[in-house]
Structure 1
Amino acid sequence: MSWFLWLGSAPSLLLVGLVGRELGLGVGSQVVQAVTCSRWETFGVAGLFQDGDVVIGGLFSLFYKPPAMDHDFTQLPPYKPCTRLQGLPLQYIYAMVFALEEINESGTLLPGVKLGYHIHDSCGLSFWALQAALSLLGGKGSSCSLSAAMANYSAAYGEESGERTGDQSVPLIIGGDSPNTAQILSRLLRPLSVPLISYTASCPCLSDRSQFPNFFRTMPSDIYQVRAIAQLAIRLNWTWIGAVVAKNSYGLISIKIFQEETRGAGVCLAFVETLRRENIVSDATRAALAIQASTAKVILIFTWYTDVRELFEQLDARNVTDRHFLASEAWSTSGDLLQNPSSSKVASSVLGVAIRSSVIPGFEKYLRNLSPSHRPKDRFLREFWENVFLCHLGDTAPANKLLQKDPLPPCSGTESLQTVQNLLTDTSQVRVTYNVYLAVYAVAHALHRLLLCPDIKSLPRNSSSTCSIPKHIKPMEVLQHLMKVNFTTPQGEMFYFDGADVPAKYDLVNWQKTLGGKLKLVLIGRVDGYDLQMNESAIQWSTGSNQVPVSVCSESCRPGTRVATRKGEPLCCFDCLPCTEGEISNITGSPNCEPCPPEFWSNSDRTACVPRQLDFLSFNETLGITLTTVAVFGVTVTTTVFVVFLYYRQTPMVRANNSELSFLLLLSLKLCFLCSLVFIGRPSVWSCRFQQAAFGISFVLCISCLQVKTMVVLAAFRSARPGAEALMKWFGPGQQRGSVCFFTSIQVLICVIWLSLSPPVPQPDLDVPGLKVTLQCAMASVVGFSLVLGYIGLLACTSLLLAFLARKLPDNFNEAKLITFSMLIFCAVWAAFVPAYVSSPGKYAVAVEIFAIIASSYGLLFCIFAPKCFIILLRPEKNTKKFLMAREQKD
């Protein structure tokens, strides 16, 4: 056995090796066991003992500093006792003693039965707890080997003898404070059906009845407290959290559950550091460095309070004082930590889950009346007494002689706990202590059911019933009745076991600084099962503000932006990218930007979709005013030219250039200028129809006049040749007017058909991005519009070709040259119009079309009529028949 005890850091190996060796009953191991157990008897078996009809075993981690062990495997390790007595576990021990004495004095619960106790210290180490459990199984003073313990246990509960023999053994043990220890003890006690009731082991794994059928606990499963802590993190919007956990099932399973509960809520762990009690100084140093280097402002800690104390001291040494802590029940209410100077510096902002605080009537009075004079065999009380009053009891050597350097003065005998304030006497918030108290009462109620004899008269005939006798109680019977326990606690709450578990009830606590700078616990909420209720306004943060501290890897993306994860980093670390135009995000931390409906557009902040503003080319804006001015000026110039031609209509210059077609051409040009004004202003159903019809017909009329004029020039030139006199008969005034009407009627017919079947309608151009959307005349039929433009282009090209052929006619017919040049400008303008119109956005496309109308109209006006007006007005001497005939003869 000693070889496995030597490997104290591997309790699971200890159990396997121990059981294997003991069941094998190796002869060589018995010598080692004798040596080991003799040392155990010397240092480890000391405890509290009280015999009774039924004896209940107790295991508590009273001393927290384990002995230094040599692992060089060259000799048997010296098994020295643990040191540094803890006040709070001592309170647990006296809670068990108090409950047993209370039950013994009760007249209703277990009347006539006296309960005893055998209590040992387990030093917080699994192999020490195992040794103590073996001693309890074998009876007081027995060998600590498993084979001897089982032999003594069989003898004590032998079915053949029918009576108890030897030293008293326990049918039940209250203990197993850590999950590892509870698992080892439960597996050890399972073959013997000895129940184990833990008051602090909260690992969810212990709820598995197939593995631990003999395990019970008065402490809720960690699933509930971890879910409560996860709810706290989510509710307070803490998404970037560091974690420090015990490297055992308590810490590792808890952090796993925490990750599962926060998955999908955007909570990430910045780091996870583990602590082992065997290497607590180096592990705490490593964890403190990780906390210091991390950007996480909230640290989740799942470990025992003694480990937390070392961690806080390491943080204090590095002046890390700006962190906030989420505490598990294992340390959230630790009075030792609250009184530690390092805690007040680095942990003034702790939010934690705690075991539900309760009241044990009469318990404080019981504690304050404790005295070594009344309990002379109580070694634990003696050492506590000497530590508190710094004296030694004169009748014996100091209980702490292994640590004492200077001799203490003898105690005067007047010392009393009535005015002492420490962890033992503080019953203001009884938590784990109440779990121990409940465990004792659960055992008592199970024994009461077991020992209760039914009324013989009330039994049916031929029925047999036997009453259990305290001396004959078997662990299996206690186990069966524990499963059926159901009673009301002094606080009026129902207590029962659901498998191994009890209903989950927690307090939410906050560490707050008093005016004196010390820390105190403040209740801020409660947890019942999965239901969490918290008063956030009651929380005191170390920042001094009521504002909840922020702990995020990346600040939440404000509305108007979206989350963009960083490659290779946790989901909590991200960038915020602004939404593009036309998309919005109206919630914080939006993963995507949502596009606005076609009729809406995003506002400047990209947080809401607002109705698009209708935009069109109006008379009030600069561009509209400019185009209107240019168009009106064109109408004015055209009218002026018309008046000049009308006034000089009898002159040779006017008459020689077909005055009737010239007047009609001027009229059509005026219409062209005027039709451009129809494109300005808010489009309507009728304006959309009229503007296209006016544009198409006006330009066809204008070009028809030019084409007929060119044809007349060519006909006149050809008729001057011999034998062609009859050609001019086909180009008389009537034929000219008819030709113009014919060419124009074709365009009129196209427009009528187009506007009747599929006319353009006013419609916003929603395909163009932007808050302002252009209200334009949408072409419902591109074919109709193409035919209108195509027909204009066909006439223009024909006129250009005819004018080009007539460009070298005599000077008196030089109008062909002017028509050629004007048609070149006209075709160039409209050739450039097509790509410019297609590429122009919104109302600027309308402006391009207006510009093309005005530019081509000006081109025709100036190229054809400017030279003539120059001669008519400024060179009247050339406006004579003689001059024109002279030029003809010269040519």
Structure 2
Amino acid sequence: MLLRYGINLDQQARIGTSDTGLGPVLAKSVGGIEHAIMFLNLKLLDWETSYEVSVFQRAQAMVFAIEEINQNPNILPNITLGFQIYDNCNNIAVAHRAGTALFGGVSGTNTASDDNCLGSPPVLAIVGDARSSHSIAISRTMGVFHMPLVSYFATCTCLSAKHEFPSFFRTIPSDAFQVKAIIKILKHYGWVWVGVIATDDDYGQYALKLFIEEFKSFGCLSFVETLPTVYEKAKILLIAETIKKSSANVIIAFAGEEELNYLVNEVVLQNITGRQWIASEAWSTSNFLASSAFYNSFGGTLGIAIRSGEIPGLEQFFLQVRPNLRPENNLVVQFWETMFQCKFQQNLSQENTNSKPCTGSEDIKSMKTAYSETAERSTYTIYKAVYALAHALHNLIKCENGKGPFENNTCADKDNVQPWQLTHYLRKVNFTNHLGERVAFDENGDPLALYDIVNWQRTKDGTVFVKTVGIFDASSRDEEKLTISEDLIFWNSNSLTVPESVCSKSCFPGTRKTTRKGQPVCCFDCVPCADGEISNITDATECIKCPDDLWSNAGKNQCVLKEIEFLTYDESMGVILTIASLFGASISVCILIIFIHHRNTPVVKANNSELSFLLLISLILCFLCSLSFIGQPSDITCRFRHVMFGISFVLCISCILVKTIVVIMAFKATLPGSNIMKLFGVAQQRGTIFFLTFIQSMICCIWLVAAPPFPTKNSKYLNTKIILECDIGSLIAFSCTLGYVGLLSCICFLIAFLARNLPDTFNEAKFITFSMLIFCSVWITFIPAYISSPGKHTVAVEIFAILASSFGVTIAIFAPKCYIILLKPERNTKKALMGRVVS
């Protein structure tokens, strides 16, 4: 298909034609010789059935840039640029053939109709193609001869590979940056469970591959679907069903407007709503898709859009187009017929005789269409592409001999410029346009990545428009790359709030994640941390064990100090034991006072008053030593309590033992000729008590010197509490201390038991036997109770054993005597004491 389209810029401009397709060729004149240097390969649909107004707009934007450059004396002075436009028919083979037609001059085939086209190749650079697949095919051929190809819409990451496409450049960021922008948005809103749809072409598949690599570090894919480039109903239905069944509320689509159109219709037909769509730059600003017809399903769509720019004078240029100014230009004619739904006389046929005739004087300014929208983003990238080539050529022309970039510091021959020389200068292009944007290419031929974040919204009258709500600037610091105005965004959800898209709800602090078998890592269950472990972050994978002195709180999200437990004077148990201890000591003191007051009575004398006094003093010490077991343990109390306990009880048992021996001796002394009391007199009694107590004292001294008791924190029995207790230090010393008390108790019990049958007059042995029976019983039962009692109850059991045994001895031995002294004074006589009980 051939269509001529040109503008007579001046006497040096020329119109080039080709049988391969349709197109304007940019031409320059240096020293009177014209050279074709630019080519814009546009994506045009079938002229007869579907005319794309936006494509014509892009062609007009290129023409405007060329005219603006030609009228600018500061760039390419005395050089005029011309153009040709080729139609690729949305077909990769046609696109490649069109590029080859222009490239023919390099291989020696001159396709131009002008015989004066000599010297340099007819084409030095190409602007296009819009599609990544087409650009790949053309670049593989052009790259061999380093002919620059500057695309304004091809975004495939693969085109950044300079070893494959050494002369490819573009003024639109590659998909690598687009994917980074989308990843930033997903991270910003915490969307970790998403579905992805990508077209079955280079654009979609390369973007999909890059997205998966970036996304898998923090999220999971609910589904990945490939959208066919050619309509397949079964595949479209399958994708729609997958979207409907998926629990992912966020769906990213790397697709073009045409390929996505069928799926969009199916989604709307099946009334699939409540999904947050993320649009790639290929369809984020589509006027067709961003319409009220699709708004229920696609309203609120967030998209990545090419940075737009308002080009001064462009709107007036668009609106001055007239078909009668270029009668040979079918492109303008078809544009006019499409805009006003009419037909020019030469295009009328028998099939369309009823069509409204075109006059050519229709008012285009009254038509509000996409054509008059000068902020259309692809027009700005075309504008920048033309200026980039113009600046590269300008730098090439103004090169001074001896300062050139080529061999021996030479410059390019201005009358014989080669494409590879222009490629060299194009790599170094760096200028700021009149909109204040810097135009340059990196080492991969990519521009500085700058995107608009757009949102599909609706006005009160129902019109859908694309609103810019943020910016992504790849050149900024990581935390500043994405800027979004949250209050400007419309969310098409029931709650009108930021939607969630997670397979499983986040695990709150105090729980940890456990993956579900056979499902992605984003699908998990939340399990509470075990006792003593915490998690203080959201979505923790492991719980942290608390240090020994700390324990997890009720929420398992913080380690807190363990409750310190010891028997205190403030609690009820401590109060009761303290009162019992003081009460026992008071009783012993009272008995001691009574005995001292009645020390000359027969009952006191007969029971050896000195031993009784000493026994009562030891009982007072036994009662009082229990107080050292109450309160917070310290080095002093831990040492004092065990030593005082051991010595006071040995003193008590020693007195009882001697008293028992004295009773037996007294009975033996009543026999005729017995002189036994002289052998065990007062001195011997005192010496025995001292000796027995001295042994216990030595054991305690060795204990205190070798391995004394000390305060310790015990958490073995209760993980939630720290029990402050006294560690015995030396188990052997502790065993010797208790064992010695037990040994004396057993000996005392045995002797008293043997003397139980003495006459009633001397029958104190019965009371001693009974007291020792209580004493031994208490301490025998104390052992298992002590071992099994947790925490502070261990100390309470020990105090109870001390008090119970002390009360047992006090009551069993001294209660009968106090009864006689206080209540039966008539029996407290020598006669009554010496008398015999009548049967």
Aligned match of 1:508 in 441, 453, 468? 453
Where does residue 703 of structure 1 map in the other structure?
653
Where does residue 221 of structure 2 map in the other structure?
269
Aligned match of 1:87 in 45, 53, 78? 53
2:693 maps to 1:739: no
Paired residues for 1:793-832 under 5 Å: 793-807=742-756, 814-832=763-781
CA distance in 2 between counterparts of 1:122 and 1:463 reads 40
Where does residue 444 of structure 1 map in the other structure?
390
Retained in 1: the 8 A contact 2:343–2:355?
yes
- Give the 3 Å change call, closer, same or farther, for CA 338–739 of structure 1 in structure 2: same
CA distance in 2 between counterparts of 1:722 and 1:566 reads 98
Paired residues for 1:414-813 under 5 Å: 414-427=361-374, 429-449=375-395, 467-469=413-415, 474-499=418-443, 500-531=445-476, 532-542=481-491, 543=493, 548-611=498-561, 614-639=564-589, 642=592, 657-713=607-663, 715=665, 725-755=674-704, 759-762=708-711, 765=714, 773-807=722-756
Q: CA RMSD in A?
A: 4.1
- Give the 3 Å change call, closer, same or farther, for CA 818–570 of structure 1 in structure 2: farther
Aligned match of 1:836 in 760, 764, 785? 785
Retained in 1: the 8 A contact 2:194–2:501?
yes
Where does residue 375 of structure 1 map in the other structure?
326
Retained in 2: the 8 A contact 1:336–1:423?
no
Where does residue 160 of structure 2 map in the other structure?
207
Q: Please list the CA deviations of residues 462-501 of structure 1 after superposition, one character each: whole Å capped at 9, or x if unmatched.
A: 99988444xx654444444433444442324443333422
Q: Alpha-carbon deviation of 1:765?
A: 4.5
- Give the 3 Å change call, closer, same or farther, for CA 824–516 of structure 1 in structure 2: farther
Where does residue 313 of structure 1 map in the other structure?
265
Retained in 2: the 8 A contact 1:524–1:539?
yes
Q: Alpha-carbon deviation of 1:600?
A: 4.6
CA distance in 1 between counterparts of 2:468 and 2:703 reads 83
Aligned pairs, number: 805
Using the size of structure 1 for normalisation, the TM-score is 0.79
Where does residue 120 of structure 1 map in the other structure?
86
Where does residue 175 of structure 1 map in the other structure?
128
SS at match of 2:84: strand
Retained in 2: the 8 A contact 1:779–1:785?
yes
Q: Please list the CA deviations of residues 538-569 of structure 1 after superposition, one character each: whole Å capped at 9, or x if unmatched.
A: 43232597854333333333334344444443
CA distance in 2 between counterparts of 1:632 and 1:664 reads 19
What code does the residue aligned with 1:512 have?
Q
Q: Please list the CA deviations of residues 168-221 of structure 1 after superposition, one character each: whole Å capped at 9, or x if unmatched.
A: 964433223233222222113334544322112222221222111232211222
Q: Please list the CA deviations of residues 72-127 of structure 1 after superposition, one character each: whole Å capped at 9, or x if unmatched.
A: xxxxxxxxx89533332332222223223333444454455544433233344423
Ranges in structure 2 where 5+ consecutive residues have no aligned partner: 1-17, 29-33
Retained in 1: the 8 A contact 2:26–2:39?
no
CA distance in 2 between counterparts of 1:706 and 1:397 reads 140
Q: Which moved more, 1:84-93 or 1:279-288?
A: 279-288
Retained in 1: the 8 A contact 2:27–2:81?
yes
CA distance in 2 between counterparts of 1:177 and 1:132 reads 14
- Give the 3 Å change call, closer, same or farther, for CA 850–604 of structure 1 in structure 2: same
What code does the residue aligned with 2:539 have?
G
Q: Alpha-carbon deviation of 1:424?
A: 1.8
Paired residues for 1:229-248 under 5 Å: 229-248=182-201
CA distance in 1 between counterparts of 2:399 and 2:725 reads 100
What code does the residue aligned with 2:390 have?
A
Retained in 2: the 8 A contact 1:765–1:776?
yes
- Give the 3 Å change call, closer, same or farther, for CA 352–414 of structure 1 in structure 2: same
2:42 maps to 1:60: yes
Retained in 2: the 8 A contact 1:240–1:267?
yes
- Give the 3 Å change call, closer, same or farther, for CA 518–764 of structure 1 in structure 2: farther
Aligned match of 2:303 in 328, 333, 352? 352
Retained in 1: the 8 A contact 2:181–2:482?
no
CA distance in 2 between counterparts of 1:658 and 1:456 reads 134
CA distance in 1 between counterparts of 2:782 and 2:485 reads 69
CA distance in 2 between counterparts of 1:82 and 1:413 reads 19
SS at match of 2:164: coil
CA distance in 1 between counterparts of 2:411 and 2:276 reads 61
Where does residue 16 of structure 1 map in the other structure?
none
Where does residue 852 of structure 1 map in the other structure?
801
Aligned match of 2:237 in 261, 264, 285? 285
Where does residue 297 of structure 1 map in the other structure?
249
Retained in 2: the 8 A contact 1:118–1:136?
no
CA distance in 2 between counterparts of 1:639 and 1:450 reads 120
SS at match of 2:451: strand
CA distance in 2 between counterparts of 1:279 and 1:801 reads 109
Where does residue 14 of structure 2 map in the other structure?
none
Percent of aligned pairs with the same amino acid: 44
- Give the 3 Å change call, closer, same or farther, for CA 308–279 of structure 1 in structure 2: closer
Retained in 2: the 8 A contact 1:627–1:851?
yes
Q: Alpha-carbon deviation of 1:589?
A: 3.4
Ranges in structure 1 where 5+ consecutive residues have no aligned partner: 1-39, 66-80, 140-149
CA distance in 2 between counterparts of 1:575 and 1:457 reads 69
What code does the residue aligned with 1:529 have?
A
Where does residue 10 of structure 2 map in the other structure?
none
Q: Please list the CA deviations of residues 826-883 of structure 1 after superposition, one character each: whole Å capped at 9, or x if unmatched.
A: 3333234344334434322221221111122223334444566677778889888888
CA distance in 2 between counterparts of 1:727 and 1:821 reads 26
Q: Please list the CA deviations of residues 512-554 of structure 1 after superposition, one character each: whole Å capped at 9, or x if unmatched.
A: 3323343333333333334214143343232597854333333
SS at match of 2:627: helix
Using the size of structure 2 for normalisation, the TM-score is 0.84
Aligned match of 2:68 in 83, 86, 102? 102
2:208 maps to 1:250: no
Q: Which moved more, 1:738-747 or 1:823-832?
A: 823-832
SS at match of 2:253: strand
- Give the 3 Å change call, closer, same or farther, for CA 249–650 of structure 1 in structure 2: farther
CA distance in 2 between counterparts of 1:262 and 1:637 reads 83
CA distance in 2 between counterparts of 1:281 and 1:476 reads 47
What code does the residue aligned with 2:566 have?
F
Retained in 2: the 8 A contact 1:109–1:444?
yes
Where does residue 390 of structure 1 map in the other structure?
341
Where does residue 332 of structure 1 map in the other structure?
284
- Give the 3 Å change call, closer, same or farther, for CA 538–124 of structure 1 in structure 2: farther
- Give the 3 Å change call, closer, same or farther, for CA 381–835 of structure 1 in structure 2: farther
Retained in 1: the 8 A contact 2:403–2:409?
no
What code does the residue aligned with 1:59 have?
N
Q: Alpha-carbon deviation of 1:256?
A: 3.5
